[in-house]
Structure 1
Amino acid sequence: MGEVTKAVILMGGPQKGTRFRPLSLEVPKPLFPLAGSPMIEHHIESCKKVPTINEVLLIGSYQYDSQIRDFVYHMMKEYKLQVRYLQEYVPMGTAGGLYHFRDQIARVVGSDTSNFFVLNSDVCCDFPLNEMIALNQETTNGMGFMIMGTKAPPDEAVNYGCIVTEPGSTKVLHYVEKPETYVSNIINAGAYLFSTEVFKHMAQVFDEHHKNDLAFPKDSISLERNVLPGLVGTSKLHVYLLNQFWSQIKSGGSAIHANRFYLSLFCKYNRDRLATNFEDHATILGDVRIHPSAYVDKTATLGPNVYVGAGVRIEAGARVKESIILDRAELKEHCCVLYSIVGWDSVVGEWSRVEGHSADPDPNDPYAHVHSGSLFNKNGQLNPGITILGRGVNVSREVIVLSTIVLPHKSLVHSKKNQIIL
């Protein structure tokens, strides 16, 4: 049996997350707050629930700046885990970084029979890590490979890695990344449990990559395209099928849904993190998290599914629903913010309305997930979506902003709808 002693979180780099702009212009996408915690803190909190995990490695091509350094320090202090950031010298793909740092991973894990998790940073779910360990033990005596999967409609499945399993079994018979035609409704959900034997398969891919004159960059390897199909041939690859909410966090719209989901997890596991209704305080509807340093007038109404960041000021009569209000933002009297992300240091004026459009997943479908489609339709027009105000945006009083993305440090004195304000 291979004991699971560590986890690796793939952070990507600044060249990724373009659909997450303008939010990713201010903070690395994996550190964007969802329900008041950086995106990958939810991953680390899930790792803490596995008793044998004592170290988490973050791999990415972001510069090791103060934001990442402070985050790593806070995670070690908060969760009593060893957390380290390993910076790729160039973007290496989803497997290149793993292979490049294989010696550190193997050294930390211990032996060739030990196992480790790999989690994509832009995945939102209640990670079933202990359940994946149990299934791996049941199917391969802890010596195999495990991939977390979920179901998707046929028209959406082709946008993901598709998994074909043996009938009545979890054994994977075929894996193909983003096929041109329908293959399966079971898709790759972005979490894996590997033994260190996986590095032998990566070594073969790496050698073939370097022999290919057309391959560039040479050290870039895709886990989904280059490694997983080869693992199918070992007969040791199995899938753990989720029966709960799952989403990729590719855009601001999916961030709103992830915020909602993590708030619901707090309601289930950590209710003390959520705001409650009591006399002489704002009206709270559903799951709402408010930073202790924020000011919320007692006549304001918040919720459901709202996060209010540090130093935020929400004045009399304001209404906030299904939104993320980032640090030091100001919501003036009687303004209304719905299905929106209000950026750091932004101001929404009196009686203004900032509203987005949200395509909610089917609440009756246990496999429902948020589809992050294109920003634009076939006619080149902006599709209706949530409203995002970048850092330092000023919305004047009595202005309506609908389904609009506003880049940082803009002033809106007239109403806008379905636009990108550059």
Structure 2
Amino acid sequence: MKIIVPMAGRGSRLRPHTLTIPKPLIPIAGKPIVQRLVEDIVKVAGEKVDEIAFIIGDFGKEVEANLKSIAEGLGAKGSIYYQDEPLGTAHAILCAKESMQGNLVVAFADTLFRADFSLDTASDGVIWTKRVENPKAFGVVKKNTEGVITDFVEKPETFVSDEAIIGIYYFKDGEFLRDELQYLLDNDIRDKGEYQLTNALENMKNKGSQFTSGTVNEWMDCGNKNVTVETNGKILGFIDGEEELISPEAKLDNCEIIAPVFIGPGAKVSNSTIGPRVSIGAGTVVENSKLSDVLIQEDSQVLNANLSNSMIGNKAKFDGNFSEISIGDYSVLE
């Protein structure tokens, strides 16, 4: 099995944090978003994943090396492809057409999930979904009484279904998907100005493919600061007891820790109350502070703070009286 991960987007809604690092590499509970995503897919895949293909923008060689390392850590080959301009979901996936053989999972790297099912690899395809209150903002599916998908609709103006496509798909025949995506581009078939995966899915269905849905228990967004901090807290709650959250290489002095909390190696925390739902990256220093629902990346300083619903980048410094902040890498606020 292969995993295709389109992740070339700029992450504009998560600025300033995405000015210096791609959104899928923002850490959630100590691991990059994209790493948590592919780890969870491997858990439900039901068979060995032999390649993970990442579709990126001009992110630099260090990022490319990190992505390949993530794949290798899961026993898979890491491949890098490039999307030079944002032309829609179908175009993004097709950038990895050389890797589209056999059965594969496509997963867009701006969301995380929790699920307790195993993937049915005998199906023609599985579209992972979650019921939502406002389906106008999503692609949605309609199903018949047997649970087979009958329609794919991209961002419906009128109500069609509240079962939203979360951005993770399984395909039994990667070549078939590749050919249908190529057909859209060759014939300039667009929806709302872009080449949409849902159009290819509709064509595949009309040619005989039967798609079912896999419903996830939790679907967590990382689109902006508020929901990223919320997602960090949810993931901490899920993995508390599954992963070692407080590194033995962290130094804690006169601290109250209210779980769940992640503290990375080399972090130094003193005279502070930390938690719940706080992540502190490796090498970060926190002194004389009270933090809850906060995500701090690596090698930063947080002094004399009383913060909640906040996000702090790498190598930043905060020393002040604000109760809620969002500052990016190398920023200073004191």
Same fold? TM cut 0.5: yes
Match in the other structure for 1:377: none
* Mapped contact 2:259–2:276 kept (Cα < 8 A): yes
Match in the other structure for 1:198: 177
Alignment partner of 1:285 is 2:254: no
In structure 2, runs of 5+ residues without a counterpart are none
Distance in 2 between residues matched to 1:160 and 1:89, nearest whole Å: 24
* Mapped contact 2:140–2:154 kept (Cα < 8 A): yes
Identify if the C-alpha distance between structure 1 residues 80 and 338 changes in structure 2 by more than 3 Å, giving closer, same or farther.
same
Match in the other structure for 2:24: 30
Higher share of residues assigned strand: 2
In structure 1, runs of 5+ residues without a counterpart are 107-113, 356-386, 397-422
Residue pairs, 1:154-169, within 5 angstroms: 156-167=134-145, 169=146
* Mapped contact 1:323–1:339 kept (Cα < 8 A): yes
Alignment partner of 1:326 is 2:264: no
Distance in 2 between residues matched to 1:189 and 1:257, nearest whole Å: 18
Match in the other structure for 1:9: 5
Shift of 1:64: 4.7
Distance in 2 between residues matched to 1:227 and 1:293, nearest whole Å: 48
Shift of 1:281: 4.9
Task: Find the residue that maps to 2:188 and give its secondary structure.
Answer: helix
Identify if the C-alpha distance between structure 1 residues 273 and 26 changes in structure 2 by more than 3 Å, giving closer, same or farther.
same
Which of these residues, 237, 251, 260, is aligned with residue 224 of structure 2? 251
Which of these residues, 305, 310, 331, is aligned with residue 282 of structure 2? 310
Which of these residues, 54, 58, 61, is aligned with residue 58 of structure 1? 54
The letter of the residue matching 2:204 is L
Shift of 1:344: 2.3
Distance in 2 between residues matched to 1:389 and 1:64, nearest whole Å: 21
Root mean square deviation of aligned Cα = 2.5
Shift of 1:92: 4.1
* Mapped contact 1:252–1:388 kept (Cα < 8 A): yes
Which of these residues, 37, 41, 59, is aligned with residue 43 of structure 1? 37
* Residues 329-353 of structure 1: per-residue CA shift (max 9 Å, x gap): 21213x2111100222322225x23
Task: Find the residue that maps to 1:323 and give its secondary structure.
Answer: strand
Shift of 1:259: 0.8
Shift of 1:215: 10
* Mapped contact 1:260–1:305 kept (Cα < 8 A): yes
- Pick the structure with greater CA Rg: 1
Shift of 1:223: 0.9
Matched residues, number: 327
* Mapped contact 1:275–1:287 kept (Cα < 8 A): no
Residue pairs, 1:198-277, within 5 angstroms: 198-209=177-188, 221-224=195-198, 226-233=199-206, 234-242=208-216, 244-270=217-243, 272-274=244-246
* Mapped contact 1:175–1:232 kept (Cα < 8 A): no
Distance in 2 between residues matched to 1:48 and 1:174, nearest whole Å: 28
Identify if the C-alpha distance between structure 1 residues 126 and 281 changes in structure 2 by more than 3 Å, giving closer, same or farther.
farther
* Mapped contact 2:315–2:329 kept (Cα < 8 A): yes
Distance in 1 between residues matched to 2:72 and 2:92, nearest whole Å: 26
Match in the other structure for 1:369: none
After the TM superposition, list the runs of 4 or more consecutive aligned residues in structure 1 that deviate by more than 4 angstroms: 278-281
Match in the other structure for 1:388: 326
* Residues 283-320 of structure 1: per-residue CA shift (max 9 Å, x gap): 110111111111101x211111111012211113x101
Identify if the C-alpha distance between structure 1 residues 189 and 240 changes in structure 2 by more than 3 Å, giving closer, same or farther.
same
Distance in 1 between residues matched to 2:290 and 2:192, nearest whole Å: 53
Shift of 1:170: 1.9
Match in the other structure for 2:308: 338
Distance in 2 between residues matched to 1:116 and 1:176, nearest whole Å: 22
Identify if the C-alpha distance between structure 1 residues 27 and 127 changes in structure 2 by more than 3 Å, giving closer, same or farther.
farther
Query: How does the TM-score come out when normalised to structure 1?
Result: 0.71
Task: Find the residue that maps to 1:147 and give its secondary structure.
Answer: strand
Residue pairs, 1:62-101, within 5 angstroms: 62-101=57-96
Distance in 2 between residues matched to 1:339 and 1:70, nearest whole Å: 32
Shift of 1:7: 0.6
The letter of the residue matching 1:388 is S
Identify if the C-alpha distance between structure 1 residues 104 and 255 changes in structure 2 by more than 3 Å, giving closer, same or farther.
same
Shift of 1:172: 0.7
Identify if the C-alpha distance between structure 1 residues 321 and 57 changes in structure 2 by more than 3 Å, giving closer, same or farther.
same
* Mapped contact 1:319–1:336 kept (Cα < 8 A): yes
Higher relative contact order (CA 8 A, sep 6+): 2
Identify if the C-alpha distance between structure 1 residues 97 and 22 changes in structure 2 by more than 3 Å, giving closer, same or farther.
same
The letter of the residue matching 2:37 is H
Distance in 1 between residues matched to 2:127 and 2:52, nearest whole Å: 19
* Residues 68-111 of structure 1: per-residue CA shift (max 9 Å, x gap): 123124314533321111113443421223334323322xxxxx
Match in the other structure for 1:360: none
Match in the other structure for 2:110: 122
Which of these residues, 137, 148, 156, is aligned with residue 128 of structure 2? 148
* Mapped contact 1:99–1:202 kept (Cα < 8 A): yes
* Mapped contact 1:160–1:188 kept (Cα < 8 A): yes
* Mapped contact 2:246–2:264 kept (Cα < 8 A): no
The letter of the residue matching 2:18 is S
* Mapped contact 1:266–1:274 kept (Cα < 8 A): no
Higher mean displacement: 183-192 or 39-48: 39-48
Task: Find the residue that maps to 1:269 and give its secondary structure.
Answer: coil
Distance in 1 between residues matched to 2:149 and 2:155, nearest whole Å: 16
Identify if the C-alpha distance between structure 1 residues 83 and 281 changes in structure 2 by more than 3 Å, giving closer, same or farther.
farther
The letter of the residue matching 2:148 is K
Task: Find the residue that maps to 1:158 and give its secondary structure.
Answer: helix
Query: How does the TM-score come out when normalised to structure 2?
Result: 0.89
